[in-house]
Amino acid sequence: MSANAVFFSTPMPKIYASLPPKREELEEVMAFIFIGPTMPTDKDFKRTPLLVRRNKVAGALEWLKLNHVDYADVDISYENLKGYSENSPPVVVDFKLSSESNLHENKESLPVNEDNDNGVDSGECPFVVHGLVSADIENRTAKELRAIALKHLLNGKMLGIGHATAPESIYDNPQLYPQIFPWLFPYGLGGIGNEHGFKKVSDKARKKSLLMYHDKRFQLEPMFPLVAINHEQIKGSTTGGYLLAKKSNFPTISEHLMKLNRSVMSDLLERLSNGESVKPVSDLEKECFQIINDLDHVAHHVQGSRTNRKYMRNEIWALTSFLGAPSWFITFSPADLNHPIALYYADQDLQLFPKVYSKDDRFRLIANNPVAGARFFKFIVELFISSVLGYGADHLGLYGMTAGYYGTVEQQGRLTLHLHMLLWIANSLTPQEICDRILDPLSDFQKKMVEYLESVCGW
């Protein structure tokens, strides 16, 4: 991920001990704007996305007072509820008659902008925005776009949403996730690090249990997995980023650090951070490069970090040194869109299995539930290792006796997972032995290799 999930609380202008607030007080913090030449009609009110039905509000407040920890001491004001209408927005609609509308007999046909010819030729167009369109900005440079934005900032109007000066802590803050995702934690409890009613578990284990919740609400919320893994990366980077030096080299490195020319090192680091290819020329630059090579930034347990990938390569080299050259390179890509187990994991209705889904339904299920795709991928990969490779099983694998394997997971173009694996077969020939036997005209190996290739390749 290239961004961090940081959250700020939104300051409230007033904390209410009694809900809902009076309708007059609600107008101080909320605005609802109608754009058009005439006063909105009752039909327009019914189509607005902001209607407050007092019976629904009363039912929601009663449920929250009984069940939500943060609403236990709230007083429900049924007197204030009576001030809200059932069929109109909870704010006063103010309408000012423009001078241009007096020139039109049919006020409903008055356009908002006489010069605006943007729209659709046929079909419904339920929402129209009067402003910049793609034709106005698609050929603009970055500087021109910034100039347009600055002009709008200086001459136009904007809506600013303030927030607290300090971000919310992601450490020892069990109410953070219930506040971020109130629809996922309707009782206000059960957040990450919550110790009420059960023994404290690790954050990673708690997030895993939430993702496996029976109704799959956490799987289907697109932001929850992203925020959860990003917070794990932040914590891992904070606690796991440090410099490491070999014990035998520590006295020499410490001595060089004490005598280091800081200006030369700063210049080198600046050039390297800009992607420049730098070769040391002077003795001072060579000393700085030697220190950079001796020190290693350790964050290999931070998922997705460059150091993590570096340590994976080191592990592959170690296996190659111990077991020899790998015998096979395998790319493994399970077809989650067509497999009934993946669709079973993704579907919320688990009573009937297997089901017959259309192509669109299959795509929709997998795209909306990445956790189901990851569960299916893990299940199939473990089955492949145990049954096909025979690793840890009481039978030989398809390729022979597996001496070792190393697999890495990455996403493919459609954002699903696939596996790249190196496979070592016990007692297999080394590349040099294979080359010698193929080049030996008296060896049966050459003949058998040609026969094998002809049997698997059609001519």
Q: How confident is the model at residue 214 (pLDDT cuts 50, 70, 90)?
A: confident
Distance CA(140)–CA(287), nearest Å, equals 47
258 and 197 share one domain:
no
Nearest by Cα to 55 from 81, 83, 23: 81
Residues 38 and 108 in one domain: yes
Most confident of 15-29, 205-219, 284-298, 409-423: 205-219
| Token pair for 350 | 């688990």
In a domain, 328, yes or no: yes
Co-location of 324 and 423 in the same domain: yes
Residue 73 located in a structural domain: yes
Residues 280 and 231 in one domain: no
On whether the CB atoms of residues 78 and 17 are closer than 8 A, the answer is no
Residue 28 forms part of a structural domain: yes
Q: Please state which of the ranges 37-41, 184-188, 272-276, 323-327 shows the lowest mean pLDDT.
A: 37-41
- Please report whether residue 82 resides in a domain: yes
Residue 195 sits in the same domain as residue 258: no
Task: For residues 102 and 26, state if they share a domain.
Answer: yes
Residue 285 contacts residue 264 (beta carbons within 8 Å): yes
Three-state SS string over the chain comes to CCCCCCCCCCCCCCCCCEECCCHHHHCCCCCCCCCCCCCCCHHHHHHCCCCCCHHHHHHHHHHHHHHCHHHCCCEECHHHHCCCCCCCCCCCCCCCCCCHHHHCCCHHHCCCCCCCCCCCCCCCCCCCCCCCCHHHHCCCCHHHHHHHHHHHHHHCCCCCCCCCCCCCCCCCCCCHHHHHCCCCCCCCCCCCCCCCCCCCCCHHHHHHHHHCCCCCHHHHCCHHHHHHHHHHHHHHHHHHCEEECCHHHHHHHHHHHHCCCHHHHHHHHHHHHCCCCCCCCCHHHHHHHHHHHHCEEECCCCCCCHHHHHHHHHHHHHHHHHHCCCCEEEEECCCCCCCHHHHHHHCCCCCCCCCCCCHHHHHHHHHHCHHHHHHHHHHHHHHHHHHHCCCCCCCCECCECEEEEEEEEEECCCCCEEEEEEEEECCCCCHHHHHHHHHCCCCHHHHHHHHHHHHHCCC
**pLDDT tens digits, one per residue of 339-358:** 888 888 888 877 777 788 88
Q: How far apart are CA 217 and CA 190, in angstroms?
A: 14
Q: Are residues 104 and 194 in the same domain?
A: no
Higher pLDDT pick, 295 / 250: 250
381, 423: one domain: yes
pLDDT (tens digit per residue) in 361-415: 888 888 888 888 899 999 999 999 999 999 988 888 988 899 999 999 888 766 6
How does strand 242-244 pair with strand 296-298?
antiparallel
Question: Taking 90 as the threshold, does the pLDDT of residue 287 lie above it?
Answer: no
If we measure between CA atoms, which residue out of 76, 100, 91, 88 comes closest to residue 23? 91
Q: Which of 50-54, 85-89, 131-135, 313-317 has the lowest mean pLDDT?
A: 131-135
Q: Do 223 and 254 lie in a common domain?
A: no
Whether 214 and 253 share a structural domain = no
From the list 286, 288, 287, 256, the residue with the least C-alpha distance to 269 is 288
Cα 156 to Cα 336: distance, rounded to the nearest angstrom = 49
Q: Is 314 part of a structural domain of the chain? A: no
The answer to the question of residue 152 being in a domain is no
* Listed ranges 22-36, 181-195, 213-227; the one with the highest mean pLDDT: 213-227
Same domain? For 294 and 336 the reply is no
Per-residue model confidence as pLDDT tens digits over 101-119: 444 445 544 444 444 444 4
Domain-embedded: residue 164: no
pTM: 0.63
**In this structure, are residues 403 and 387 in contact, taking their beta carbons and an 8 Å threshold?**
no
Q: Does the structure show a pLDDT above 50 at 281?
A: yes
Angstrom distance (rounded) from CA 118 to CA 112: 12
Asked if residue 135 is part of any domain, the answer here is: no
All residues at 6 or more sequence positions from 232 whose CB lies less than 8 Å from its CB, including other chains: 203, 204, 207, 303
At residue 11, what is the residue type? P
- Give the count of domains, the chain: 4
Instruction: For residues 231 and 254, state if they share a domain.
Output: no
Average pLDDT over residues 25-49: 67
**Which tokens in the block code for residue 104?**
């039109």
Residue 365 backbone class (left: φ over 0; alpha: ψ -120 to 50; beta: rest): alpha
- Domain of residue 342 covers 319-428
Taking a C-beta distance cutoff of 8 angstroms, is the pair 311, 402 a contact?
A: no
| Integer Cα distance of 214 and 280 in angstroms | 60
